[in-house]
């Protein structure tokens, strides 16, 4: 009974916290911590300090990348690629947004791409819902395939802290093919979704009004005619060099400095968790001194603000979840351990639902992965179902999905009458399910 009440407290805190946003989720977790400690007598868990530090370093570097203009250069190249291949926008748009997120570590880059994707689609008489909805899904699925995303660095850190030494490269060797295949399957399905515009009665009725037609077919802004300073390109190349350095050091641990944990012990390479923090701070510093930007402007960048919100939400929700689960770890090991061994997909469902509850892949990993490790789940299975961390498309409340609907001036990307029949549902389900299947095969082939 006590365990059930404790779970209800956890669930209520998550639901109430999400209603107030990422920072709200963190501080509402304080209610749960106090109730557990003073009401239930639970010993407080431990905040994931190592995970928080690595997130802080990564989002700081990403903030410098955006403020310096390096992100703008990537978006300009992406737009040029899409405009050079307009007839295949339904396939190429989601692959482009997936790739941009892999490079930058945040799905928020997709906001700049939405008007570009819409403009190309409508001028090709392609139903904008086809490329736009799946592009939104792709930008979020790619978070677990980026070496500098909160989700990936959190996963690596949690595995490392628990004694499972999986490198960033090993995690990406599963998550990149898994999410890429998931996005590709979703894009192929989207190729013929919905009615063609000339057969869509609702759309044809809307554009009969000349003002509406001008609104639908009017030009969108473009980056192609803008001359970007050299410093923008320099910042992008510095960032790429940092990512390459992390990949090399993670794949070749013999390059890392070695230190003895205590006197007389054999020297061991330093943790990649520490290395990632060092390199991300170094990249931010190099961008600062060589690309003519003001450090105080970084705090106002969208990527930095979003990353800090993710950091604080992981802090609160992971501490609360650890307090609850660690005080019932004996029962959980027996019950969940056997359930996951018998039905491995049960873990994927749990991560998916948690992701929807907290609207964050990083927060979902912070809640579920430590618990899964503590009940004895094979870390290979955790890697297999990394695509399931993206579940917040299930209800169309996430900012990127709402922005996608707003940028589609044709009205074809929308929330349905019954809420769940929205434009992102089927591409999201196809992407996650096929990504989990591919991830399961790849992970078991590699490890």
Q: What is the pLDDT of residue 271?
A: 77
pTM for this model (two decimals): 0.80
What string of H, E and C letters represents the secondary structure of 78-131? HHHHHHCCHHHHHHHHHHHHHHHHHHHCCHHHHHHHHHHHHHHHHHCCCCCHHH
Q: What is the pLDDT of residue 325?
A: 77
Over the chain (447 residues), the average pLDDT of each successive run of 10 is 84 79 79 91 83 80 88 89 92 95 81 88 93 95 88 83 75 94 96 90 90 84 82 92 83 81 77 83 93 86 77 80 79 67 82 82 84 83 93 81 86 82 93 96 92
Q: What is the pLDDT of residue 332?
A: 67
- The DSSP code for 270 is P
Return the half-sphere exposure (C-beta side, CA atoms, 13 A cut-off) of residue 157: 28
Q: Whole-angstrom Cα distance, residue 264 to residue 101? A: 45
Q: Whole-angstrom Cα distance, residue 240 to residue 115? A: 26
Q: What is the pLDDT of residue 126?
A: 94
Q: What is the pLDDT of residue 426?
A: 95
For the chain, the distance separating the N- and C-terminal CA atoms, rounded to the nearest angstrom, is 40
Q: Whole-angstrom Cα distance, residue 415 to residue 428? A: 14
Q: What is the pLDDT of residue 309?
A: 77
Q: What is the pLDDT of residue 149?
A: 82
Residue 258 pairs in a beta bridge with 269
Q: How far is CA 214 from CA 112, 196, 206, 210, in A?
A: 22, 19, 11, 6
Structure tokens at 289: 């001194």
Q: What is the pLDDT of residue 142?
A: 94
**Which residues lie closer than 8 Å to 244 by C-beta, 6 or more apart?**
none
């Amino acid at each position: 009974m006590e365990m059930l009440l404790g779970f209800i407290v956890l669930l209520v805190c998550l639901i109430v916290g999400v209603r107030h946003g990422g920072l709200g989720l963190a501080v509402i977790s304080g209610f749960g911590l106090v109730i557990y400690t003073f009401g239930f007598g639970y010993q407080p868990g431990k905040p994931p300090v190592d995970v928080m530090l690595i997130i802080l370093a990564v989002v700081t570097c990403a903030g410098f990348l955006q403020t310096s203009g390096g992100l703008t250069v990537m978006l300009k190249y992406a737009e040029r690629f899409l405009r050079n291949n307009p007839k295949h926008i339904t396939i190429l748009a989601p692959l482009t947004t997936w790739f941009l997120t892999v490079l930058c570590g945040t799905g928020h880059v997709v906001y700049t791409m939405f008007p570009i994707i819409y403009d190309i689609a409508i001028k090709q008489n392609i139903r904008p819902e086809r490329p736009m909805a799946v592009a939104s899904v792709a930008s979020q699925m790619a978070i677990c395939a980026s070496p500098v995303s909160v989700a990936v660095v959190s996963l690596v850190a949690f595995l490392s802290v628990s004694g499972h030494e999986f490198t960033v490269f090993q995690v990406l060797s599963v998550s990149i093919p898994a999410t890429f295949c998931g996005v590709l399957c979703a894009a192929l399905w989207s190729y013929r979704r919905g009615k063609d515009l000339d057969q869509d009665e609702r759309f044809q009725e809307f554009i009969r009004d000349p003002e509406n037609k001008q609104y639908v077919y009017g030009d969108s802004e473009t980056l192609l005619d803008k001359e970007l300073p050299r410093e923008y390109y320099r910042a992008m190349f510095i960032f790429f060099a940092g990512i390459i350095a992390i990949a090399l050091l993670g794949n070749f641990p013999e390059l890392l400095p070695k230190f003895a944990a205590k006197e007389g012990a054999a020297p061991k390479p330093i943790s990649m968790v520490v290395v990632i923090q060092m390199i991300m701070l170094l990249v931010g510093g190099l961008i600062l001194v060589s690309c003519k930007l003001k450090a105080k402007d970084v705090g106002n960048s969208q990527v930095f603000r979003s990353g800090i919100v993710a950091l604080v939400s992981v802090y609160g929700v992971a501490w609360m979840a650890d307090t609850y689960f660690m005080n019932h770890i004996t029962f959980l090991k027996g019950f969940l351990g056997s359930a996951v061994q018998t039905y491995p997909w049960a873990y994927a469902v749990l991560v998916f639902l948690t992701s929807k509850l907290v609207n964050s892949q990083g927060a979902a990993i912070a809640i579920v992965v430590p618990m899964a490790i503590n009940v004895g789940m094979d870390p290979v299975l955790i890697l297999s179902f990394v695509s399931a961390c993206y579940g917040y498309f299930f209800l169309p409340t996430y900012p990127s999905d709402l922005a996608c609907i707003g940028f589609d001036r044709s009205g074809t990307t929308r929330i349905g009458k019954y809420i769940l029949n929205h434009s992102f549902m089927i591409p999201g389900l196809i992407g996650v399910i096929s990504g989990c299947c591919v991830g399961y095969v790849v992970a078991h082939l590699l490890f």
